[in-house]
Structure 1
Amino acid sequence: MRMLIALPLSLVLSVAAAAERGVAAPYGIWMRGDGNARVRIAPCGAKLCATNLWIRDPSSGEAVGDRLVMSLAPKGGSTLAGSAFDPKRNLTYALEMQVGAKRLETRGCILGQILCKTVSWSRTK
């Protein structure tokens, strides 16, 4: 409870601004389109974190507990944009997230947006 009360104002204002612009909050549990991962998106300090809750096939190096730390702000429409840091791989991505009530699409890029990957997600209960 204290953690929720102490949530930094910048994150609260960013999500509030997104909600005013019609962007659904990305908080919750999401299943990746390929069915290989389930993640929870939740506040973590002044940022958002996507934490792996379940991995069907860990052969690609993904593991339960892996985390992506995101700094996002409203970009327009239903889009949030900013950066994401993967501490396991020590990589920072440019990230855009299109948020809907039941669907989420992420586009992460590295190397000056030369290498990009788009992933679809669906909200789970």
Structure 2
Amino acid sequence: MNPLILTVAIFVLGYPGIAKAGDIDGQWARGDGNARVRISPCGPDVCAVNTWIKPGTSKEKAGDKLVMTIKPGDDGVYSGTAFDPQRDMTYKLTVTINGDKMTTRGCIVAGMLCKGIDWTRIN
């Protein structure tokens, strides 16, 4: 599964002012150090856009976008789907935010193939 999809889906999960879930908006750095994204509202959804990709990272580029249709739940958890227009793929997505840490988990093939990615908020 493409790290961008999981990472961005992986980042775009919150709107300011939602009381139950952590704030997802802002800049995030992927745990492996290979990418940074900006997560913000885009129409009725949330978008994660790559703002920086480590040189030599394959299959990703700055400007790639993930469109997330997610809903906040309890304890900083968002769930829904993420659409990657670059690859024309839709993923089942869960995003968990705990302070300045975020974990995204994207699944395909009826939820049988999943991958999680850790993120840290960039101030």
TM range (shorter): 0.7 to 0.9
Compute the displacement of 1:78 (Å).
Answer: 1.4
Deviation sequence 1:42-91 (CA, Å, 0-9, x none): 01111000000000034421000000000110232210000000000000
- Do the aligned partners of residues 16 and 52 (structure 1) sit closer, same or farther apart at CA in structure 2, a change above 3 Å counting? closer
Residue of structure 2 in register with 1:106 after alignment: 104
- Do the aligned partners of residues 16 and 54 (structure 1) sit closer, same or farther apart at CA in structure 2, a change above 3 Å counting? closer
Compute the displacement of 1:15 (Å).
Answer: 3.9
Structure 1 counterpart of 2:40, from 39, 42, 59:
42
Give every structure 1 segment of 4 or more consecutive aligned residues whose post-TM-superposition deviation is greater than 6 Å.
none
RMSD: 1.6
The number of residues matched between the two structures is 110
Query: 1:73 and 2:78 equivalent?
Result: no
- State the identity %: 43
TM superposition score normalised by structure 2: 0.83
Higher relative contact order (Cα pairs below 8 Å, separated by 6+ residues): 2
- Mean CA deviation greater in 72-81 or 43-52: 72-81
**Partners in 1 of 2:31 and 2:84 — Cα distance?**
20
Bigger radius of gyration: 1
> Partner of 1:30: helix, strand, or coil?
strand
Gaps of 5+ in 1: 1-13
Gaps of 5+ in 2: 1-13
**Partners in 1 of 2:35 and 2:64 — Cα distance?**
11
Give the AA of the match of 1:63.
Answer: K
Q: Which has the higher helix share?
A: 1
